[in-house]
Amino acid sequence: MAYPSLFHPDIETLSPGNLAGLQNLKWEKQRQYLAENSRFYGVKLAGALRRELTLDDLQDLPLTDKEELRASQEGNYPLGDYVACSPDKVVRIHRTSGTTGRALILANSAKDAEVIAQQGARGMWASGLRPSDRVVHCLNYQMWTGGLTDHLTLEATGATVLPYGVGGTTRLIEVIRDLGINVISSTPSYPALLEKTLREEFKLKPRDLGLRLALFGGEAGLDNAAFREAMEETWGFGVRNANFGLSEVMSTMGSQCEHTTDLHFLSGDVVFLEILDTRSGQRLKLEDGASGELVCTHLEKECQPLLRYRTRDVITVTGAQTCSCGRRSFRFRVTGRTDDMFNVRGVNVFPSAIHKVITSANAIASGHFRILLNGPGPYDRVNIRAEAAEHVLQDDWRGIARELEKRIRDTIGASADVDIVAFESLPRTDGKTSLVERV
């Protein structure tokens, strides 16, 4: 069956001018809603929301960060005083994974949950999922939004979804073969574990599973062409960065289409974006090459609406014109995180930049590595433990280490000390893998 190429064509083809018009209309309603219902913003903004305030005027208001939300929840446990609807409207609660600091409690109304599912479906559709597909969802369902909420976005496309969760890799391979699953949704690091299990327990090659599409999210690294091509070659599936988002704002608001490896920002009708210069904090014009921290304001949210929320993600705009897929939304890459960034002798280093260098050297390194940071910094050099590629002899490790150090210095401008370890000696995980270990 032939399906249309866009999920919400009326929204996805809106010109920037028409989108701005729609955003202004929605914001006016949302502003009044916040003014009447958000105690948190009532205090924080000292009544500013009670007056006329355009999206352009938001620049004069302070930012909101995650620490404030944590403090709000500690003071008004569990949902915080930034909740703007009555408790009986809440239909679902999630918790963040809480890898840095205390977990946040995320609450949604039925309307919020429907918006999230529709936005996510728009993205999964852009990445190639169709109702004829059978997709197995391998993210953590235990309280985390990546589980149930992302499951429901996959389902909203009309595809058949199998809730699998994490772990149980041997059984997963049996299920994929038994039920004719042709699409997998997981973290990009998971196929490495799947490949190992296929080889060791089934004597099978990845291509034998017959998967046609992989929908990834949750980790950096997919912007790297070498990593992506190696995975497509090994598996025979299309690799899509399908699932960029933040559970506080919108689970899925950026997805790759089939014409570019960059992300489309697809949620302009419900989330207003600002890109702020990381030094001056000034709003940047949304044009090719603009690079700064992504800041989000909800245009339609009942339960925990946010205004000028700092995502800590640094993005770079890579395409402001209409894409060949027909979508009008701009394209971008996530180029770092302001809270992961560390300083090596005056050079700002993002772990994602080191990931790119190491995965590009795929003839000598497996692509698995950890950055070891000792103390709060700034650092003289960056210590890295990296795996050799398969079949590399131990005699060559020293030479490989020097080569990687040179490439990091040439590309990033920071000195590195690389320590090579054996292939498959770093743990493969089925959840989020942190590239940085603080020692």
- Residue 325 binds Zn ion (CB under 5 A): yes
Query: Closer to Zn ion at the Cβ: 5 or 37?
Result: 5
Closest CA to 241 of 225, 256, 226: 256
Report which DSSP code applies to 432: P
Query: Closer to Zn ion at the Cβ: 327 or 333?
Result: 327
Query: Closer to Zn ion at the Cβ: 137 or 327?
Result: 327
- Residue 354 binds Zn ion (CB under 5 A): no
Rounded-to-integer distance, Cα 105 and Cα 192, Å = 32
Contact yes or no for 280/138 (Cβ under 8 A) = no
Tokens coding 263: 């992300």
Considering the complex, what minimum distance in angstroms separates the CB of residue 5 from Zn ion? 10
What is the pattern of x (binds Zn ion, CB under 5 A) and - over residues 275-314? ----------------------------------------
Considering the complex, what minimum distance in angstroms separates the CB of residue 329 from Zn ion? 8
Considering the complex, what minimum distance in angstroms separates the CB of residue 324 from Zn ion? 6
Query: Closer to Zn ion at the Cβ: 123 or 367?
Result: 123
The residues that bridge with 373 in the sheet, in sequence order, are 438
- Residue 257 binds Zn ion (CB under 5 A): yes
Q: Tell me the window of 164-172, 194-202, 249-257, 431-439 that interacts with Zn ion (CB under 5 A).
A: 249-257
Closest CA to 236 of 210, 217, 258, 257: 210
Q: Tell me the window of 17-25, 37-45, 218-226, 258-266 that interacts with Zn ion (CB under 5 A).
A: 258-266
Q: Tell me the window of 167-175, 222-230, 232-240, 255-263 that interacts with Zn ion (CB under 5 A).
A: 255-263
- Residue 323 binds Zn ion (CB under 5 A): yes
Q: What is the DSSP string of 155-198?
A: HHTT-EEEE--SS-HHHHHHHHHHHT--EEEE-TTHHHHHHHHI
Rounded-to-integer distance, Cα 45 and Cα 222, Å = 39
Query: Closer to Zn ion at the Cβ: 140 or 329?
Result: 329
- Residue 259 binds Zn ion (CB under 5 A): yes
> Dihedral through CA 131, CA 160, CA 151, CA 147, nearest 10?
-140
Tokens coding 105: 């409690």
Query: Closer to Zn ion at the Cβ: 61 or 325?
Result: 325
- Residue 418 binds Zn ion (CB under 5 A): no
Sort strands 436-438 and 238-246 into parallel, antiparallel or unpaired: unpaired
- Residue 20 binds Zn ion (CB under 5 A): no
Considering the complex, what minimum distance in angstroms separates the CB of residue 15 from Zn ion? 16
Query: Closer to Zn ion at the Cβ: 325 or 347?
Result: 325
For 116, 304, 334, the CA distances from 82, given in Å and listed in that order, are: 19, 6, 28
Tokens coding 218: 């949750």
Query: Closer to Zn ion at the Cβ: 167 or 326?
Result: 326
Query: Closer to Zn ion at the Cβ: 14 or 45?
Result: 14
Rounded-to-integer distance, Cα 245 and Cα 248, Å = 9
How many residues sit close enough to Zn ion to count as binding (CB under 5 A)? 5
Other Cβ atoms within 10 Å of 428 Cβ, number: 17
Q: Tell me the window of 78-86, 241-249, 301-309, 323-331 that interacts with Zn ion (CB under 5 A).
A: 323-331
Phi then psi dihedrals of residue 412, to 5 deg = -105, -25
Kindly list the residues in this chain that would bind Zn ion in the complex (CB under 5 A). Answer: 257, 259, 323, 325, 327
